[in-house]
Amino acid sequence: MKFSWKLLNNIINLNNITVNKIIDRLIVSGIEVENIEYNKNLQDKFIDLSITSNRKEISSTIGLAREISTILNLSINNKPINLKEELYKKNSTNKLTDLSSNINYLRINIIHSIKKNTLPEWITNYLKICDIKYNNNRNNFIEQIQKYIKLKWGHTFTIINSINIQEELTRLNILTVNNNLVNILEKYKEDRYIIIAFIVYKNNKTIKDFNNLSYDNDTDYFTNAYYEAINLITTFTKCTISKSYIEYSKLNKNNNKIDIRKQKINQILGPIKSTRLKYISIKNTNKVLKELKFHPLYNKRKKIFTLSIPKYRLHDLQREIDIIEEIGRIYSFELFHDNLKKNNKKGKVSDITLYIKKIRLLLRKLGFSEVINSSLNNNKQKNHKIQIHNPITKEQNCLRNNLIEALIENYNNNTKHNKHRIEIFEISKIFEKSNLNRHNLEAKHLSCLMYNENFIRNTWSNKPEKMNWFHAKGIVETFLEQLNTSVIWKKIISNDTNQYTKNIEKFMDPLNRIGIYDRFNKNLIGILAELNNKYITNITKDKVYIFEIKIYELYKASINKEHLKYSFKKYSNYPKVTRDISIKIEKNKSIYDIKKIIFKTNKKLIKSIDIFNNYYNRNLNIRSIGLRITYRSNNRTLNNKDIYDIDLSIKNLLKELI
């Protein structure tokens, strides 16, 4: 689409700005410039732009001027004459039509007594250069003005055929014509007249008439377009225009609010090149949003911008990401880093995640294999499982409330294929209904199943024996010991049972089961039991042992070895010197105190004190201690004077001590 530089300059002052600068900024902001040509007859430059469907608001001179004013932060000379609500409050005494629910405003004028049918060449030439086609009929001059107003303001009027008024008004979403309009037109039946209508529609929905002219709900420059259209018609046709006949409905307020998070702006656009990994400031963000006419309000506490989107941008600015793209486009994408700097910092892995990794490693070392089963199963027994509202299949219509049930299925499937050793475990989530509140409970559990026909043999000549209760308990005890947990094994008390224990109680042999309790808070955290025979499908009904425990409760029962403290020092590259001394002390004298006193003589050079001999004389009630003292410096080789000074200091101290 082509735009006149002169016409553009009348709307926005571009005298101090070159065409090339504007072209560069348009290209950077995402508007493609196809060509620039100069017309000698009009002595004007024409810019040919390729306008995409999401930027249809630029398809007029005022729209392009509005875009340039935003990009270059310039003011527009022509201020919009707002279609104020006062226009709607004027109650028309002569109601002419019945409006559809999609029309906000209708203004009809009747043109008559036309004395001239020609227009100045600059309008016709301008339309030809911009490749605007129009019909060559008796209303040609009005249609040319209609097209020109559309190109300049983005709004225009429609020409209504006076022969069949009702049909054409219906196409424009006007329901019926009142007798008042018929009576008014009777006055001009002897004269040549033309009806023109200016319409504002409520919704973004576009209404197209038979002249392929569209109208939308952007009213910023609607009144400007009306006044210039009437001015051009009266000036160049020397006609008479009737008073305006207005129909209206209440003007809709602009409630198009969008909240934009500052954190999201930083995340999408990234840091700015001119600074060291710093993001666009709140001040600059606010400035860009004001240039876009978004009227921003910033909430410091929530760090959110609240914006009011103008009507002419509603068709393409509806999401948070659309606004962030506009900020980057106006601020210039070139100022942001293309590639983010690599972050060498590794994210922190939670303690519970590391603990689960340790559990997996220990169980694999104990010979277990990990299995993964679906969290969805069926609810045949109508127990306390959480139902799914829209299950894909009937077999997967609820969330499981234990892990043992799936491990039992794994066991039965493997025994069908003559597997004689099945030692498996699973770590996954279970889901339970809460009796206290509406929220369901979700927890991570560990479950194991143990079965081995050839677990142990007493001698090489004997046949292997099957796993028994004590073997299974020994494996679980070894596992808990390696996790450094503090637990108690004891009989399950009825008071300790809860919904979780009730979910797995049916799978356990009532006589062979034992609870695992936290030593500190005495809470039940797990259960070891023999599997109930009715859930074993094979004929032999072998002994199978199951074990389930709450991982988070197990983690809390673990003892952290915080008493172990280590210190790291740089190793010296210089030689060491050792001295062996022998001292006699009383029987009850502490060797630790003696070592502490010796270290005080010279902490920098004395590296270690070791005891190599300890002899007790019962007759004299005296202990004879042999100490080996090591001297070493971190920055030099020790000389004789250093050794002599230290020995002398130690000798004097020991004399006082003895």
pLDDT of residue 435: 66
Note the pLDDT tens digit of each residue in 83-109.
654 454 454 445 556 666 677 788 888
**Res. 436: pLDDT tops 70:** no
- Where do we find the tokens 């969330």? 399
Q: Give 539 or 64, the one with higher predicted confidence.
A: 64
Helix or strand or coil: residue 53? Answer: helix
Note the pLDDT tens digit of each residue in 437-486.
667 788 999 999 999 988 888 888 888 888 999 999 999 999 999 999 98
Domain boundaries 2-72, corresponding CATH code: 3.30.56.10
pLDDT of residue 123: 81
239-259: average pLDDT: 76
**Res. 251: pLDDT tops 70:** no
- The pTM of the full predicted model, rounded to 2 decimals, is 0.52
* High-pLDDT (> 90) share of the chain, %: 19
354-366: average pLDDT: 94
Q: Give 445 or 201, the one with higher predicted confidence.
A: 445
* Least confident among 48-52, 134-138, 577-581: 134-138
410-414: average pLDDT: 91
Give the whole-angstrom CA distance, residue 141 versus residue 471: 104
Domain boundaries, the chain: 2-72, 85-248, 257-335, 351-556, 577-657
What is the full DSSP assignment across 270-306?
--BTTSSS-PPPHHHHHHHHHHTT---EEETTTTEEE
DSSP state letter for 537: -
Give the whole-angstrom CA distance, residue 333 versus residue 280: 12
Give the whole-angstrom CA distance, residue 236 versus residue 627: 121
pLDDT of residue 261: 93
pLDDT of residue 348: 83
pLDDT of residue 244: 82
Residues 269-284, buried b or exposed e (16+ Cβ, 10 A)? bbbbeeeeeebbeeee
Spatial neighbors of 237 by CB under 8 A, at least 6 apart, are 111, 114, 115, 116, 117, 141, 142
pLDDT of residue 433: 78
**Res. 263: pLDDT tops 70:** yes
Q: Which of 559-563, 568-572, 578-582 has the highest mean pLDDT?
A: 578-582
**Res. 211: pLDDT tops 60:** no
**Res. 530: pLDDT tops 90:** yes
**Res. 381: pLDDT tops 70:** no
* High-pLDDT (> 70) share of the chain, %: 85
**Res. 44: pLDDT tops 90:** no
Q: Which of 360-374, 523-537, 608-622, 644-658 has the highest mean pLDDT?
A: 360-374
pLDDT of residue 209: 44
Spatial neighbors of 582 by CB under 8 A, at least 6 apart, are 613, 624, 625, 626, 627
Q: What's 351-556's CATH class?
A: alpha beta
Q: What residues are paired with 624 via a beta bridge?
A: 584, 615
213-225: average pLDDT: 69
**Res. 432: pLDDT tops 50:** yes
Q: What residues are paired with 577 via a beta bridge?
A: 631
**Res. 503: pLDDT tops 90:** no
256-281: average pLDDT: 86
Q: What's 577-657's CATH class?
A: alpha beta
pLDDT of residue 87: 54
Cα separations (Å) of 56 from 64, 149, 154, 314, 458?
10, 16, 10, 11, 88
Please give the structure tokens belonging to residue 282.
């709140």
> What is the average pLDDT value for the chain, to the nearest integer?
82
Note the pLDDT tens digit of each residue in 180-193.
666 777 776 666 77
Closest CA to 404 of 506, 510, 251: 506
For residue 74, count other CB atoms closer than 10 A to its CB: 16
Say if residues 552 and 352 touch (Cβ distance below 8 Å): yes
DSSP state letter for 463: P
* Least confident among 3-12, 137-146, 238-247: 137-146
* Least confident among 83-92, 268-277, 299-308: 83-92
pLDDT bucket at 110, cuts 50 / 70 / 90: confident
pLDDT of residue 91: 46
Q: Give 66 or 655, the one with higher predicted confidence.
A: 66
253-261: average pLDDT: 80
- Where do we find the tokens 């601020």? 331
pLDDT bucket at 566, cuts 50 / 70 / 90: low
Give the whole-angstrom CA distance, residue 476 versus residue 554: 13
pLDDT of residue 293: 87
Cα separations (Å) of 549 from 487, 524, 552?
12, 9, 9
For the CA atoms of 169, 171, 172, 173, what is the dihedral angle to 10 degrees? 90
Return the half-sphere exposure (C-beta side, CA atoms, 13 A cut-off) of residue 37: 13
Q: Indicate the fold that domain 85-248 takes in CATH.
A: Phenylalanyl-tRNA Synthetase; Chain B, domain 3 (3.50.40)
DSSP state letter for 436: S
**Res. 636: pLDDT tops 50:** yes
Give the H/E segment covering residue 37: strand 32-39
Helix or strand or coil: residue 526? Answer: strand
- Where do we find the tokens 């010979």? 367
- Where do we find the tokens 């656009």? 269
Comparing 2-72 with 257-335, is the CATH topology the same? yes
Domain boundaries 257-335, corresponding CATH code: 3.30.56.10
Say if residues 609 and 578 touch (Cβ distance below 8 Å): no
**Res. 137: pLDDT tops 60:** no
